[in-house]
Amino acid sequence: MAQEQKGIDLTGQPFAKHLADNNSLPLQASETAFEKARGVNRVEIRTGFASARIGGLHGEVLKERLAILQPVFESGISFDFLKFSADGMSFVVPESLREKLEGVLHSSGAEFEVKGGRAVLIIHAVNMRDEAGLVAKIVSQVIDSGANIEHLGEMHDRLLMLMGKGGAEKAKAMILASNPEAEA
């Protein structure tokens, strides 16, 4: 069926074949895997962290917390995973700084608990925000595995959860079992 306007000719092979919607040519290996599979695609564990939980704070939210964080900062201790709770806050430091942190918190007079031997379970899932409910589902699965999530962070392609090393191993096994295509 030639078009009236010059330059358009959809007749003949292979053009018509290639433009057909029902083109059933099998995908070549080089064509596949443009996008990673939906959902979890990799699970890993990083170790070597300690977590601190500060409690008993009831005054002005940010001021009270900054008063405790200031000496931590001034001692050159880097912290991550800062989370504010109703009565305090929690954060994570490298295990190597645990003793130093305990000293600083002790001096500040804060009500605190520092736990060593923490691990970060990292669950990779491309573009998690577009997968409705995915973050909540992963969190729910990890809790069901028996792991105790102490902190939680996220970025565009991964969810990071701090927990004990044993819990991280159990959670990793459970996530991998329910996502057989995910890499360990």
Partner 1 sequence: MKFKVLKFGGTSVRTPEARHLAALKVLSVREQGFAPVVVVSAIGRKGEPYATDTLKAFLDDVDHAVEPDPREMDLVMACGEIVSASVFATLLRSLGCPSMSLRGGQAGVRTDGVYGNARILGVNPLGIVEAVERGFVPVVCGFQGVWIQGGLPGAELTTLGRGGSDTTAAALGAALRAEAVEIYTDVDGVKTADPDFVKEAPTLSRVTYDEVAEIAHLGAKVLHPRAAEIAMKFDIPLWVKNTFSEEIGTEIVPSRELPGRRVTGVTHSGKLVYLQVDLNNAEPSHVRDLQARIYDALARYEVNVYMTNLGPTSIGFAVERVFYADVQDMLDALVLPMPGDSRVVYLVQTSNEPSRALETQRKLLEPLGEVRELKFEVNEGCTMVSLVAYDFLQQPGVFYRVISLLDRAGIPVLQTNDSDYSLSCLIPESELRRAVAVLHEEFGLATLS
Q: Are 110 and 54 in contact (CB under 8 A)?
A: yes
Size of the site for partner 1 (CB under 8 A): 74
Least distance in Å: CB of 148 to partner 1?
Answer: 7
DSSP state of 36: P
> Residue 165: helix, strand or coil by DSSP?
helix
Within residues 123-182, the interface with partner 1 by CB under 8 A covers: 126-127, 129-130, 132-137, 139-140, 143-144, 148-158, 160
100 binds partner 1 per the rule CB under 8 A: no
| Pick 110 or 134: Cβ nearer partner 1 | 134
From CA 62, how far away is CA 84, in angstroms rounded?
9
Please state whether beta strands 88-94 and 158-164 pair in parallel, antiparallel, or not at all (unpaired): unpaired
Q: Which of 1, 5, 11, 180 binds partner 1 (CB under 8 A)?
A: 5
Within residues 20-49, the interface with partner 1 by CB under 8 A covers: 20-25, 27-28, 31-38
| Pick 143 or 184: Cβ nearer partner 1 | 143
| Sheet order of strands, 42-55 included | 80-85, 88-94, 42-55, 111-124, 158-164, 151-155
The one segment of 8-16, 42-50, 99-107, 171-179 that binds partner 1 by CB under 8 A:
8-16
Q: How far is CA 34 from CA 31, 40, 68, 89, in A?
A: 7, 16, 48, 41
Q: Which of 45, 55, 108, 114 binds partner 1 (CB under 8 A)?
A: 55
